[in-house]
Chains A and B, each alone.
Chain A
Amino acid sequence: MLKRSHFRPGLLPYLLVAPQIIITLVFFIWPALQALYESFYIQSAFGLGSTFVGLENFISLFEDPLYIESVWRTFLFSGLVAVLAMSLALTFAALADRVIRGALAYRTLLIWPYAIAPAVAGALWIFMFDPTLGIVSYTLDMFGIEWNQAVNGTQAMALVIMAAAWKQIAYNFLFFLAGMQAIPPSVYEAASIDGASPIRRFRDITLPLLAPTSFFLLVMNIVYAFFDTFGIIDAMTQGGPANATEILVYKVYQDGFVGLDLGGSAAQSVVLMFIVIALTVVQFRFIEKKVQYA
């Protein structure tokens, strides 16, 4: 019964959603179609000539073992960034939630990193870990750990993961904290009266009630790690050493905007788009089932 509209359908609802639809068309659908079109061509940099090559751009991508490695590397990178950024943010939020005195100061400090541009964040971290000048590498050296992310790929990967996660913690923190403060205190009080310990209360009350927030953040963090970390990588390692930190979005940029291989780069962005669509579908189909919206 409720399914039928109570209002006469008019122009107004269409007008109201029009701006959003226009923005989506101009900034998402159109570029996506353009990328799809260009992925079938090899084009000269100046656009003076282009050859239709069919699926050749895609074939050469998947024949390139380095590209396949880059795909797995991207999954590893995104997974670790999301897990690290979310678990640390959750810890901080749980701690900040209990603080009463000086709460604002703590929160402000925790939110700061989010306001920093990725390239600046990258520069900051690379400076701390610079094998020659860095304060952290200097300290590690005293413990006999040799740090040189210019040569050691594992160290370089660890470094970009840390920097990328660090920047995202603030965003996650805000959502977790807001989610925690929305939980009615009476629930905790009842649990306390029943004798539940703080850890038990966190596990059985806070976590389940934060599930929608966590799910939303998981999607946001994966998207962030896939797309927004390019500035950090560019500032810190440029994908090196020996491809160790070359994730997909960086390769798209490197081949397309620096190497001027527009067709190859377009094919990569099409692949990237499908990976993200697939990831999102998986998340909403399977993970969302476990999420209880109160």
Chain B
Amino acid sequence: MKKFLQIGLFASLSSLAISAVAQTEIQWWHAMGGKNGELIQGMADKFNASQNKYKINPVFKGSYAETMTGAIAAFRAKQQPAIVQVYEVGTATMMYAKGAVYSVEKLMKDNNQPFDRGAFVPAVTSYYSTPEGELLSMPFNSSSPVLWYNKDALNKAGVTKVPTTWDEVGAAAKKLVDSGMKCGLSVGFQSWVLIENYSAWHNLPIGTLENGFGGLGTQLVFNNEHVKNRLATLAEWTKDKRFVYGGRAGASLPMFTNGECGMWINSSAYYGSIKSQAKFNFGQAMMPLDTSVAKAPQNSIIGGATLWVLQGRPAAEYAGVAEFLSFLISPEVQAPWAMESGYVPITKAASDLMQSQGFYANNPGTDTAVKELSLNPPTANSKGLRFGNFVQIRDVINEEMEAIWAGTKTADKAMNDAVDRGNKLLRRFEQSVQ
């Protein structure tokens, strides 16, 4: 009996001892599989080894949509992680969830962490800030669409200059098809590339109230003649294979890497995939300019994701979260992340570090996305977009654009329909957050 008591006492004492030095564990849910997932684990390991108060625990939760809906479901069940990675289309949903998110700028201030929003690339911060300029989520992995081109195919087709305007893209596509290629140009993430970025690039509004940054009650307006003309021209190009649609998201990647399409407009973050798959010389250039719309490009808008901090965790965790975010945005962490993942460096310091290490010189073209994003200070039309229900609106845009490519709707009708359907979804979103 005495022995049992001793053991019991010993056990309870030792558990007390353990809890006294126990680290505060912080959950970080993310959507980075494969190589990028390993890089994220590496960041956490490095941070965990650098101190002993906190332990960051990254958890892979599947796709962006799965990660976000998973975190929301967890929040409703009061089991939310402290940090969650959310893609850019989920921004409005997160930002209007007052009481659920902890603005990172406030978090950093509350925990006395040095924080300078001016250290980031402006096109990145503008996307995630309140109208007053407060940064709500921590920029983490951003990218922008670029024109990928097959150097060998362009040479063979006799295109001597990489196209910089849509007219030149059309002419080059014609030559590529004439030289025997199955397709001149394809795109990925068509709403992001051909509507959202096309509009920002030419300083056209996507919706009213500064693309939704001015608050609720916004209307979509991307059914203007410029967007319609561009899509109608592309629809015209599908007839002789100058343009071939290859599916949603990144589904058309093999068409480019197999050498079927000579040009491809999609995220700069495909660098790694293209490098490992393409058996030809390739390059990346800035998105083409529509000379009938603007004389010079404005700036592109980002894709990718940021890290949102969720409310409702024990106070002790937030000090650790703030410390970890400081660590995460340091150039020593950001630069290797950008170099290995293909995402753009989100801070100027990280970009400078990459420059000084000779990354851009050794990998020509990899700075294209950064250049596009920082071409000019963002305007009301080019700082990004903040529409509620945007995940669904993007689906609507995808559907309507597919109807154009299949020839069942004109660009004019499809864009008007997309705007009508999108506006209904905006009104529904307003009802949900009131």
Give residues in A with beta carbon < 8 Å to B: 42-51, 53, 60, 130-133, 150-153, 238-243, 254-255, 257-261, 263-264
Contacts and interface: CB of A to CB of B under 8 A. Distances in A.
Contact of A258 (B69, B246, B403, B408): B69
20 contacts: A43-B432, A45-B72, A46-B75, A46-B100, A60-B424, A60-B428, A131-B246, A132-B260, A153-B406, A240-B248, A241-B399, A241-B403, A242-B400, A242-B403, A254-B395, A255-B392, A258-B391, A259-B392, A261-B425, A264-B428
A210 to B, nearest CB: 42
Nearest to B77: A47
Nearest to A258: B65
Contact of A261 (B258, B389, B406): B389
Nearest to B99: A48
Contacts of A239: 395, 399
A151 B72 contact: no
Contacts of B99: 46, 48
Given A45-B97, A60-B428, 7 more contacts: A51-B431, A150-B252, A239-B399, A240-B248, A242-B406, A258-B395, A259-B392
A49 to B, nearest CB: 7
A240 B191 CA distance: 14
Please classify the interface of chain B as helix (H, G, I), strand (E, B), loop, or mixed, using the class held by over half of its residues.
Answer: helix
A61 B409 CA distance: 23
A147 B405 CA distance: 14
A258 B99 CA distance: 22
A186 to B, nearest CB: 57
B65 to A, nearest CB: 5
Contacts, number: 105
A47 B80 CA distance: 13
Contact of A151 (B260, B405, B424, B432): B405
A151 B69 contact: no
B336 interface: no
Contacts of A257: 65, 69
A46 B75 CA distance: 7
Nearest to B100: A46
Contact of B406 (A42, A48, A152): A152
A238 B398 CA distance: 11
Interface string B55-93: 000000000010001001001100000000000000001
A95 to B, nearest CB: 38
Contacts of B389: 259-261
A152 B75 CA distance: 40
Contacts of B100: 46, 48
Interface of B: 65, 69, 72, 75-76, 93, 96-100, 245-248, 251-252, 254-255, 258, 260, 389, 391-392, 395, 398-400, 402-403, 405-406, 408-409, 424-425, 428, 431-434
B434 A151 contact: no
Contact of A150 (B97, B247, B424): B247
Contacts of A259: 389, 391-392, 395
Contacts of B392: 254-255, 258-259, 261
Contacts of B75: 46-47
A150 B252 CA distance: 10
Nearest to B414: A242
A179 B405 CA distance: 48
A185 B246 CA distance: 55
B254 to A, nearest CB: 5
B342 to A, nearest CB: 22
Most A CB contacts (10 A, CB to CB) among B69, B402, B424 go to B402
B360 to A, nearest CB: 32
Given A254-B395, A261-B428, A240 B72 contact: no
A241 B434 CA distance: 34
Contacts of B251: 150
Contacts of B260: 132
A74 to B, nearest CB: 17
Contacts of A243: 399
Contacts of A43: 432
A153 B406 CA distance: 8
B254 A133 contact: yes
A81 B76 CA distance: 38
A242 B408 contact: yes
Contacts of A261: 389, 392, 425, 428, 432
Contact of A42 (B254, B258, B431): B431
B6 to A, nearest CB: 46
Nearest to B398: A240
Which 10 A-B residue pairs are closest in the complex by CB-CB distance?
A: A259-B392, A150-B247, A241-B402, A242-B402, A242-B403, A46-B97, A42-B431, A46-B100, A47-B76, A44-B432
A132 B258 contact: yes
